[in-house]
Amino acid sequence: MQDWPDEELLRQLGGAAAGEAWAAFLQKFTPLIIRVARQYQHDEQSLHDCYLFVCEKLFDDGFRRLRAWRQKDNVRFASWLRAVVANLCVDWHRSENGRSRPFRTIAELPELERAVYMHRFEFGAGFKECFEAVSVNYPQVTELEVAAIIRQLNRLLTPQQHWAIVTRRRSVVSIDDGAVRREVESGGGESETPEAHVTHDQEQRRLHRAMLQLPPQQRLLLRLRYRQGLTLKEVARLTGFDDPFKARYQIQLALDRLRDLLQD
């Protein structure tokens, strides 16, 4: 698989090698997309659905969103992409859960201030992620201006409103939390023994080491098929294979290689 620089990769998305370029893009930037999505979706099923939504939107209209990037103002493509993905994550969240009704004091603010509030307070994004997300639609905004808006919002929100925001964010329990995950897997935790936990952790570390020894494309195929739970048709479309049967063949090769590594 080609290892194109970012500019060349985006240029190839508009040409005859679009399928190969899309597969290369996913291989390179899937970790970034998932990291951003984790800020907005905590449980694994929501993360999977959000990831699919983002990829589909990036794929739509001949990769229109991706090809809109232009190298200017020393903005790296990865930083720009994080902001685009963040905004798509918000779109997905709204499509699934509807628009949350903002406090009246927030609803009366200009659009830029509302955007900062949504990313920084509603979703708990860090300052850098918040600035990158709003700068996609407001390219002239500066970090100092965003910092000033955050200070203004902090003064504007009452202690009760701050508490309500934090409570809403915490209402979704993260399945990534180790204690929660073990309780779910054990059906309540009463029948799980310490020895079983040790064995499970050892197996997970062994699997992780074996995965790291696979070629990048095989790791991507297994992650999409089994970790993200995509269908063969979805895997084929996202990785540039002509049909699901070719994707299944490549996945089987990856599984065979993984089995050999685990046996070693």
Largest CA distance in the chain: 63
| 77 pLDDT more than 70 | yes
- Angle, CA 54 vertex, CA 47 and CA 74 arms, to 5°: 115
At 181 the pLDDT is 38
| 98 pLDDT more than 80 | no
At 133 the pLDDT is 82
At 197 the pLDDT is 43
Taking alpha carbons only, the member of 105, 118, 107 closest to residue 146 is 118
Q: What integer best gives the mean pLDDT of the chain?
A: 76
Q: What percent of the chain shows pLDDT beyond 90?
A: 1
At 178 the pLDDT is 41
Give the C-alpha separation, 89 to 85, whole Å. Answer: 6
Return the HEC string of the chain: CCCCCHHHHHHHCCCCCHHHHHHHHHHHHHHHHHHHHHHHCCCHHHHHHHHHHHHHHHHHHHHHHHHCCCCCCCCCHHHHHHHHHHHHHHHHHHHHHCCCCCCHHHHCCCHHHHHHHHHHHHCCCCHHHHHHHHHHHCCCCCHHHHHHHHHHHHHHCCHHHHHHHHHHHHCCCCCCCHHHHHHHHCCCCCCCCHHHHHHHHHHHHHHHHHHHCCCHHHHHHHHHHHHCCCCHHHHHHHHCCCCHHHHHHHHHHHHHHHHHHHHC
Give the C-alpha separation, 142 to 162, whole Å. Answer: 25
| pLDDT tens-place string over residues 100-116 | 566 788 888 898 998 89
The CATH architecture that domain 194-263 belongs to is: Orthogonal Bundle (1.10)
Q: Which amino acid is at 141?
A: V
Taking alpha carbons only, the member of 121, 161, 247, 196 closest to residue 113 is 121
Q: Rounded mean pLDDT of 105-130?
A: 84
At 173 the pLDDT is 31
* Residue that wins the pLDDT comparison between 132 and 71: 132
Q: Rounded mean pLDDT of 40-68?
A: 83
At 99 the pLDDT is 54
Among 2-11, 73-82, 222-231, where is mean pLDDT lowest? 222-231
Q: Rounded mean pLDDT of 65-91?
A: 80
| 227 pLDDT more than 60 | yes
**pTM of the entire structure?**
0.50
| 58 pLDDT more than 70 | yes
Write down the domain spans for the chain. 6-170, 194-263
| pLDDT tens-place string over residues 152-209 | 888 888 866 776 676 555 443 333 334 333 333 333 333 334 444 444 456 667 777 8
At 101 the pLDDT is 63
